[in-house]
Amino acid sequence: MRLIFAIPMFTVLMFYGVSAQLAQAQVPGQLNLMPVPASVHMGTGQLVVDPSFSVGIGSAPDPQLRRAVDRFLNSLRRETGMLPLDMSVADASKATFVVTAARSSKEVLELGEDESYTLEVTASGAKLSAPTTLGAMHGLQTFLQLVVNTPTGFAAPEVNIQDKPRFPWRGLMIDCGRHFIPLDVLRRNLDGMESVKMNVFHWHLSENQGFRVESKKFPKLQELGSDGLYYTQEEIRELITYARDRGIRVIPEFDMPGHTTAWFVGYPDLASAPGPYTIERRWGVFDPAMDPTRESTYKFLDEFIGEMTKLFPDQFFHIGGDEVNGKQWDGSPKIQEFMHSHDIKDNAGLQAYFTARVQKIVSKHGKTMLGWDEILQPGFPKDIVIQSWRGQDSLAQAAKLGYRGLLSSGYYIDLIQSAAQHYAVDPTSGAAANLSPEESARILGGEDTMWSEYVSPENIDSRVWPRTAPIAERLWSPQNVSDVNSMYQRLDEISRRLDWLGLTHNSSYFPMLRRIAGTDDLSALRVLADVVEPVKGYSREETSPVEPTSLMPLNRLVDATRPESSTARHFNDLVDSLLAGKTDAGTKAQIRKWLVLWKDNEARLQPIIGQSFLLKEVAPLSQSLSALAASGLEAMDYLDRGERPSDDWKAQQLELVKRAEEQKAQLLIMIAPSIQRLIDPTAPVEAPKKVGH
């Protein structure tokens, strides 16, 4: 599901103001752990990790734990540059690192499984103990994050960690319907999830633009509804096993009754209007919806859900339920007639009727239904779970009505917001802050959601990571772990660690820039690309020069740039410092150095900009950055001379900033607000249009 209407927004820069209020150091400076554990006590020594390092399992044989230890050693070898014959699995009595799990986690992981662990590292060895395999697996990831390069070798610091999660449901949703996401991409994202202790992969498998699962009962679903881009049942079983080995449950979502055009290509009789249907290529909310009035619809769904619940072993089954515009229902005399004869007042009522029928089918097949906000109707069994995308109000409302819920509103990573914005969203804040303890306990956690209109296998990792890591921390760590500066410091390190898993959020940047430039000389393009971000929220659609479709290559600068410019963040911090009175020569010199670089960059980029069709659209952006920087330098001159600029000058420059803040090539120059503050520290910094929600 997708948010398609505008909701109250706040500027992407708000966290600079917020950070001061939240300043509470959570962990000793040296530890770059994410998520921050519940309790950490540090010693002074360290445990060296060299080729003689060994791991022993201190509990009864458990194949899953053994595989986790093998993978742990492989990760450790990769991060330290060691080889397969270095480090080993040894007898627990002799091992450097002893891992113990009191009992094996179940074959099919369950919501609420004990995930706690205790990790003790001393100069002579380390011990990890957990009540379950799942807890031990989390502890292994913590150990990996502890190992750093030191003057005497790779080593983990002496530390005593007691840890457990705050919420039992910590998920990532990937939309494989709008753009098909290949299995290798999913696998590396599961590796990333494991490393930050996320435990649910929500697999969004059907959309207007594609039906992505092989059905043996209804093969026309994938044969006609996927362009050949779907997962076989064998591949799905393998991915579920892969996820399970990483402590991750897999929840399938088959969105219904809307978002179903791709189903109707093979099975038009399911729809509320006659076919034929073709796979949708545009983005948005469309009219086709299942016909809730025909018994054949439920017969189909009974068989289909029966097949899929056998394929996906998890207890929960997601039926979507969002964004039905009702137009096909309004347009069908037969459906209107049905509503009248069944005393159904409106389309919401008709959807409730449909959802109730589907819930019974899901329940009949032994599963618990999960769906987006819209499915919530009084009278439903209390075991269903509501996933809130429309805001914290609906989550609180569900909890009050006795339903369990998940928060996704605020964790929409496709909207290209900052890590700090997502980090500030807490499942138990807002409307949920006033719940009783019993009601509050119904909030199971949350999921961030990677809707896939603008992602390909090449750039999806850069949208998911590293921003998923602070969301994982929000869902795992104690609620008072909320210092934004600490988060960003640790995030830089965690982002680099994720590289070792094969995630491409960092590494895909340069090849994409090189393709755009058509040359190896990237220095000028990079200076520009480093300081811009894609337009925010839903303005990617609104600002598109042509109607975007699923056929459109994703090879423009807007596709390559990162959701969050750390260059801009650092520059904005420098300007904050200056305006807060830190007028030392070093701060000023750094600000000037950046401004000169940007001012001169236009002249450096100009010679290559005509050589590549992908660079052409960037020309106005480059000019704008150069002009902004020139303006910033003039402002610095005034500040240095202690001189007040004229009102005319100010007005002129602020007009320039305003123009610079407008999107160009669907990109925003993220230092514009800081330049405005240099020009006029007293002028209100306005939220850029359509930035965030």
Chain contacts with a copy of itself (rule: CB under 8 A): 51, 78-86, 148-153, 179-180, 227, 229, 456, 458, 492-493, 496, 499-500, 507, 511-512, 514-518, 520, 550-555, 559, 610-614, 616
Distance CA 122, CA 132 (A): 23
Closest CA to 471 of 132, 182, 198, 73: 198
Q: Please identify, using beta-carbon distances, which residue of 245 and 458 lies nearer to a copy of itself.
A: 458
Give 85-100 as a DSSP string.
Answer: TSSEE--TTT-SEEEE
First-to-final CA distance of the chain: 16
Q: Please identify, using beta-carbon distances, which residue of 413 and 503 lies nearer to a copy of itself.
A: 503
Minimum distance from residue 57 beta carbon to a copy of itself (Å): 18
Q: Please identify, using beta-carbon distances, which residue of 587 and 612 lies nearer to a copy of itself.
A: 612
Tokens, residue 26: 């959570």
Q: What Cα–Cα distance (Å) separates residue 648 from each residue in 627, 645, 651, 654, 679? A: 17, 8, 5, 10, 12
How many other β-carbons are positioned within 10 Å of the β-carbon of residue 123? 14
Q: Please identify, using beta-carbon distances, which residue of 110 and 510 lies nearer to a copy of itself.
A: 510
Torsion of CA 148, 151, 153, 157, to 10 degrees: -50
Minimum distance from residue 300 beta carbon to a copy of itself (Å): 27
Give 190-239 as a DSSP string.
Answer: HHHHHHTT--EEEEE-EETTEE-B--SSSTHHHHHHSTT--B-HHHHHHH
Q: Please identify, using beta-carbon distances, which residue of 275 and 457 lies nearer to a copy of itself.
A: 457
Q: Please identify, using beta-carbon distances, which residue of 29 and 151 lies nearer to a copy of itself.
A: 151
Alpha carbon 476 to its chain centroid, in Å, reads 15
Alpha carbon 394 to its chain centroid, in Å, reads 21
SS3 674: helix
Instruction: Give me the sign of the Cα torsion angle 406, 412, 414, 418.
Output: negative
Minimum distance from residue 515 beta carbon to a copy of itself (Å): 6
Long-range contacts: 631-638, Cβ < 8 Å, 24+? 631/656, 631/657, 631/675, 631/679, 632/591, 632/595, 632/671, 632/674, 632/675, 632/678, 632/679, 633/592, 633/595, 633/596, 633/599, 635/675, 635/678, 635/679, 636/588, 636/591, 636/592, 636/595, 636/678
Minimum distance from residue 198 beta carbon to a copy of itself (Å): 24
Minimum distance from residue 148 beta carbon to a copy of itself (Å): 7
Distance CA 24, CA 151 (A): 30
Minimum distance from residue 458 beta carbon to a copy of itself (Å): 7
Q: Please identify, using beta-carbon distances, which residue of 407 and 554 lies nearer to a copy of itself.
A: 554
Distance CA 532, CA 270 (A): 45
Tokens, residue 364: 């009949």
Distance CA 343, CA 329 (A): 15
Minimum distance from residue 511 beta carbon to a copy of itself (Å): 6
Distance CA 409, CA 429 (A): 12
Q: Please identify, using beta-carbon distances, which residue of 227 and 634 lies nearer to a copy of itself.
A: 227
Asked whether the beta carbons of 361 and 337 are under 8 A apart, the reply is no
Minimum distance from residue 479 beta carbon to a copy of itself (Å): 30
Annotated active-site residue 323? The verdict is yes
Minimum distance from residue 143 beta carbon to a copy of itself (Å): 18
Helix (H) or strand (E) holding 361, with range, is helix 347-364
**In one letter, which amino acid is 472?**
A
Among the listed residues 194, 323, 453, 564, the single catalytic one is 323
Q: Where are the alpha helices (DSSP H) in 267-313?
A: 295-311
Active site residues: 323
